[in-house]
Structure 1
Amino acid sequence: MLGLAADSLRADMNRLLASLFHQGVLDEQFLQLQQLQDESAPNFVSEVINIYFHESEKLLRSLRTLLSEREFSDSKKIGIHLNQLMGSSSSIGAQRVRNVCVAFRAASEQDNRAGYMLSFSRCFPTI
């Protein structure tokens, strides 16, 4: 019984991953991350993803705070946060988040505050 349930769960996970790859949410870097998981570290991928979510949430909150300041002037700090988010997203294969960061950075380099505030709120509405 347990073997059938595990097989069913594995099949569901494979379908979900295939869908995420097809939608452009994940890229091949995620597959490389999965290859690092073995018997000595059976929860490696989930631990890395949990760290990514935790750190990304902090970065996004910091970005929202910086962007909501009336006297917005710290574009260097925004760039640092974006670079961190882009780097960590790239390292786990979160392609869509990385692409959003690239677009957000382009808007910020053009000093288009209204444009990047709008794109930020559309991409990360709950942060």
Structure 2
Amino acid sequence: MLGLESYRLVADMNRLLALLFHQGVLDEQFLQLQQLQDESSPNFVSEVVNIYFNESEKLLRNLRTLLMDREQWEYKRVGVHLNQLIGSSSSIGANRIRNVCVALRAASEQNNRLGCLRALDVLEHEYCYLKNKLHEFFHIEQQRVLAAGIRYPNPMQQQQQ
């Protein structure tokens, strides 16, 4: 049975998710990702999202480097990084990031370097916002698990029995 604190934390998580969906930051793909989490993989979503953030930071750095280098400016190279970022953002439901990537790709295909730099600034802002909000979400979820006293089976103990 969940205690009052656990219910409050679940409500906080639901409010935060509702805000992110209302703002268009996340889409239904995030909910589908959550449905893949169970007792055998209780940290599945946070692990997938952490991988996403690690890879995305590399892609954002590469994009910034490419766009700042006036001699090496080539939209095809930018497009490769953007396609990776669009795909991974779509897979976790990062809707606004995906949308900004599409706008950045359009500016890139038009050889609009200034438009690309502006879109990259927006992309980096959206990335930071998503990262902060999902960090907050996972922190609340961790508190909820602790408050509920949920204990996941220890695979090492099961093997010994």
How far apart are residue 78 of structure 1 and its match? Answer: 0.9
* CA RMSD, Structure 1 to Structure 2 (Å): 1.7
Instruction: Return the offset for 1:9.
Output: 1.2
Instruction: Give ranges in structure 1 of 5+ residues lacking alignment.
Output: none
Deviations 1:32-83 (A, max 9, x none): 0000000100110111111111110110001001111120333222111000
Q: How does 1:1-127 map to 2 (within 5 A)?
A: 3-125=3-125
Task: State the Cα distance separating 1:88 from its structure 2 match.
Answer: 0.2
In structure 1, C-alpha distance between the alignment counterparts of 2:94 and 2:41, rounded to whole Å: 21
Amino acid at match of 1:103: A
Larger relative CO (CA 8 A, sep 6+): 1 or 2? Answer: 2
Q: Distance in 2 between matches of 1:31 and 1:122?
A: 25
Identity of aligned residues (%): 71
* Aligned amino acid, residue 9 of structure 2: L
* TM-score calculated relative to the size of structure 2: 0.74
Whole-Å Cα distance in 1 between the matches of residues 41 and 52 of structure 2? 17
Off by >3 Å, runs of 4+ in structure 1: none
1:72 aligned partner, one-letter code: Q
Q: How many residues align?
A: 126
Cα drift, residue 29 of structure 1: 0.6
Distance in 1, Cα, partners of 2:10 & 2:19: 14
Q: Secondary structure at the match of 1:29?
A: helix
- Deviation of the 1:4 alpha carbon: 2.2
> For structure 2, which runs of at least 5 residues remain unmatched after alignment?
129-161
Which is further off, 33-42 or 66-75? 66-75
TM-fit CA distance, 1:123: 3.0
